[in-house]
Amino acid sequence: MDDFFHSIEFYTLALLVAFALLALIFGQKDQDPMSTYIKPMALDDGGDQSSELHLISHADGALELRHNGLMLLDGDTVNLVVTVSDSKVRMVEKKGVKGAPGPEKPMAGSVMLDFMREQKYVVRYESEVTGEWRRFSYVNREGNEKKIALKY
């Protein structure tokens, strides 16, 4: 038996076991496929000029997002492009149809994200409309609310 521990077969088996353990430890984890959603934002005159996000989690798992402080023309539209990959989310606000020329006024845009799961997310929010952005974390759980100030 003592000869076995000094044989080529023993070292070959030990090396295979070591590689198998490394593969288990550092191997690629199963990830959900990346998904992209485009959601039109409902605009109303209720916004003020202080630009902030307000997130509210609902009982059905949906996440309500409201962005105050959008300076828009009458007739402008805004879409939210959301890319989800496991717990990482990238949200980009993009201007859609451009409204009639005239003075801009402060508006608020809101959207219901009904595809979010109950979990903690790391979010990067970018607004091409205002030029502001923010990176934050949010736990989507019923009753959870968070207000986030955007920055340039």
Which residue type is seen at 95? K
Task: Using the CB atoms, write b or e for 119-128: b if 16+ within 10 Å.
Answer: eebebebbbe
- Residue 118's pLDDT is what? 92
Concatenated DSSP letters of 73-100:
-TT--EEEEEEEETTEEEEEEEE-S---
Query: In Å, how far are 27, 61, 68, 99, 127 from 110, measured between CA atoms?
Result: 41, 17, 9, 18, 13
Q: Give me the pLDDT at residue 46, please.
A: 67
What is the mean pLDDT for each group of 10 consecutive residues in the chain (152 residues)?
77 90 77 88 80 92 93 92 94 89 90 94 94 95 93 86
How far is the C-alpha of 17 from the C-alpha of 131, rounded, in Å?
Answer: 53
Q: What is the DSSP letter of 151?
A: B
pLDDT of residue 25: 82
Query: Which among 144, 143, 66, 71 is positioned nearest to 107, based on CA atoms?
Result: 71
Query: Strand, coil or helix: what is 8?
Result: helix
Ordered by start, the domain boundaries in the chain are 35-149
- State residue 57 phi and psi, 5-degree precision: -90, 135
Q: Would the pTM of this model clear 0.85, i.e. be above it?
A: no
The sign of the dihedral angle between the CA atoms of 89, 120, 112, 33 is positive
Q: How high is the pLDDT of residue 59?
A: 92
Query: Cα separation of 63 and 117, whole Å?
Result: 9
Instruction: Tell me what pLDDT residue 28 has.
Output: 66
